[in-house]
Chains A and B, each alone.
Chain A
Amino acid sequence: MNKIVKSADEALDGLRDGMTLMVGGFGLCGIPEKSIAALVRKGVKGLTCISNNAGVDDFGLGLLLQTRQIKKMISSYVGENAEFERQLLSGELQVDLVPQGTLAERCRAGGAGIPAFFTPAGYGTEVAEGKETREFNGKMYVLEEWLRADFALVKAWKGDRFGNLVYKRTARNFNPMMAMAGKITVAEVEQLVDPSELDPDEIHTPGIFVNRIFQGTDYEKRIEQRTTRKRN
């Protein structure tokens, strides 16, 4: 078993205009930097991107907004991005805002073969408009459907040729669920290691969910809000 591809460009083979992508990360933490850069090079257009956030003006998915490659975003929070705001207000970009936990679970459901589930989030709000609601044990819930993608682009810390992945700290976030929900899942890792170097007990994403894996270099890992305290 060898899922290693040489580059991000090779990993995106078959990715075409109009496809739906899942893109891992929370803010700029744990985003697939190299796959995003390859999408810009590839120039595919009309993309629907499922991602918790939309990056900032000059990094993350913001790069694909600058080049007008995204038609629609499905996200929970899209602040911090002036170009996003401009495209949204001018009608160039469509946005579906989804509660964060619902977004995570919709991705997980997509990967787990569960077409819909009931959640309390959004009941009584505009998020529930047009959706089926039902009472369980005296509380109201909203029916939400799974999300699946043509390509899922995820980022991990370590991985092996089987596609097994280990994430680092909060760079895990949406990556494991999105890895499950892609028809083709592309994982980029900081360290591509021999399978013997990963402890089977400590794998976060089992390789079955990953189709292509490559090692990225020179990760920028930009920090959005650098907050520190002084030493006493």
Chain B
Amino acid sequence: MALTKEQMAQRIARELKDGYYVNLGIGIPTLVANYVPKGMNVVFQSENGILGMGPFPYEGEEDADLINAGKQTVTLLPGSSIFDSSTSFAMIRGQHVQLTVLGAMEVTDTGDIANWKIPGKMVKGMGGAMDLVASAENIIVAMMHANKAGESKLLKHCTLPLTGVRCVKKVVTDLGAFDITPEGFRLLERAPGVTVEEIKARTEGRLVVGGEVPEMVV
């Protein structure tokens, strides 16, 4: 069984460590906030100017002046701070944020990522994605293993315009978890019931399988 989006988020949440400052992208990455282990202190950064972002507000308590990078109404947690966009990206470029989780359309076995533009379609812009991928020390991509046409999104070379080069460290898809190593995608764990052969068949980039690959516990 391939992982659900919630299970992918759960798996990524296992990469969190106490004291981490974390930036979550829109989509599956946002779900990671729901799975912070109890007792662990993780501070979420939103690039429009928040450290210590909390959950959505209760109905009736929305504040138009308090939104996240997805323009959704949010809340602040005790110890939070607010800053301008320049300071926010100083945190990101200056590598003060320990973990970035974002979605992607394509990732290569050398860690290149494409996630902002499809030629021929309306281009909406890269937002903060290029700044995030160019600087973050630890970037995890959360995405489906294949696109809607069933083609692998784990490639040798990106076919879409790049967002950043040699920057992604780990990929979690609905089929498994992978480290990006000099040899290619190293298969760390399989989704429950998904075989190594199936993953091999559905991965276009170089895949490294070292010995027994454990099934993911979710």
With CB as the reference atom, state the residue of chain B lying closest to A229: B56
Contact yes or no, B130 A127, CB < 8 A = yes
Interface residues of A in 143-180 (CB under 8 A from B): 157, 168-177
B148 at the interface (CB under 8 A from A): no
Alpha-carbon distance between A229 and B89 when the two chains are bound, in angstroms: 29
Across the interface, name the chain B residue whose C-beta is closest to A29: B67
Interface size class on chain A is 35 or more
Any chain B CB within 8 A of the CB of A202?
no
Report whether B84 and A173 are in contact in the complex, using a CB–CB cutoff of 8 Å: yes
A119 contacts B by Cβ under 8 Å: yes
On chain B, the residues within 8 Å of A62 by CB distance are: none
A137 and B125 alpha carbons, distance in the complex (Å): 30
A225 within 8 A of B: yes
Flag if B165 contacts A123 (CB, 8 Å). Answer: yes
The answer to whether B65 touches A29, judged by C-beta atoms less than 8 angstroms apart, is yes
Bound state CA distance, A171 and B63, in angstroms? 10
Cα(A116)–Cα(B128), bound, Å: 20
A124, B164: Cβ atoms closer than 8 Å: yes
Specify which chain B residues have a CB less than 8 angstroms from the CB of A168 in the assembled complex.
Answer: 65
Chain B contact patch, size range? 35 or more
State which of A85, A105, A221 has its C-beta within 8 Å of the C-beta of B89.
A105
A228 at interface, CB cutoff 8 A: yes
A101 at the interface (CB under 8 A from B): yes
CB neighbours (8 Å) of B68 from chain A are 170
- Evaluate contact between A120 and B135: CB separation under 8 angstroms: yes
Q: Tell me which residues from 77 to 95 in chain A have a Cβ below 8 Å from any Cβ of chain B.
A: 77-79, 85, 88-89
Q: Interface on chain B toward A: helix, strand, loop, or mixed SS?
A: loop
Q: If the complex has contacts A26-B85, A52-B85, A225-B73, are A77 and B58 also in contact, measured as CB distance less than 8 A?
A: no
Shortest distance from the beta carbon of A157 to any chain B beta carbon, whole Å: 8
B174 interfacial contact with A, CB 8 Å: no
Q: Please determine whether A99 and B131 come into contact, CB atoms closer than 8 angstroms.
A: yes
A119: chain B residues within 8 A (beta carbon): 93, 131, 134
Do A76 and B125 contact each other (CB < 8 Å), given the known contacts A29-B67, A229-B57? yes
Give complex CA distance A70, B37 in Å.
Answer: 49
Question: In whole angstroms, what is the CA distance A127 to B123 when docked?
Answer: 14
Instruction: State whether B67 touches A170 (Cβ < 8 A).
Output: yes
- A224 to B70 alpha-carbon distance, docked (Å): 9
A169-B73 contact, Cβ under 8 Å, with A76-B126, A124-B164: no
Decide: A102 and B131 in contact? CB cutoff 8 A. Answer: yes
**C-alpha gap A2/B11 in the complex (Å):** 58
Interface residues of B in 9-55 (CB under 8 A from A): 46-50, 55
Instruction: Name A's B-contacting residues (CB within 8 A).
Output: 26-30, 52, 75-79, 85, 88-89, 97, 99-105, 107-108, 119-127, 157, 168-177, 204, 221-231
Known A88-B122, A100-B126, A173-B85; 11 more pairs at CB < 8 Å: A30-B65, A75-B125, A100-B131, A104-B89, A121-B130, A121-B135, A169-B76, A170-B48, A172-B84, A227-B56, A228-B59
